[in-house]
Each structure stands twice: as C-alpha cells, then as structure tokens.
Amino acid sequence: MKDKEFAKASDVAEAINLRPSRTRDYLGELVKEGLIIAEGSNRNRIYKLKK
C-alpha cells in the first residue's frame, strides 16, 4: 500500500499470497485499529493508509 494511493483486497491478497476472503478479515481488523481507511461499498471497497 505504500507504493500506491490505494489498493483493493484482491491486490493485497495477491501481494501477501492469501485468499481474498482472509485478506478482507485482516484488512477489517486494521480498519478497526485505525491503521488504514476503507472507502466505498463492499464490492468496490478500496483501502488506503491513514495519513
């Protein structure tokens, strides 16, 4: 996520070699902890690093 402005769960999943469903679980935890921001609806959700 540091190299791009935003990423989809599928992009992150591919980068870390996990299934998209498991990756979304981890991303959800990072959102809850306030480390990243989620924008958009479920199907079009993107994730950004918090500035």
Burial 12-50 (b: 16+ CB within 10 A, else e): bbeeeeeeeeebbeebeebeeeeebebeeeeeebebeee
Domain contains 13: yes
Q: Total domain count for the chain?
A: 1
Give the tens place of pLDDT for each residue, 21-48.
999 999 999 999 999 999 999 889 999 9
Domain contains 4: no
Domain contains 39: yes
Domain contains 3: no
Per-residue pLDDT at 13: 96
pTM of the model: 0.85
Structural domain boundaries, residue 22: 9-49
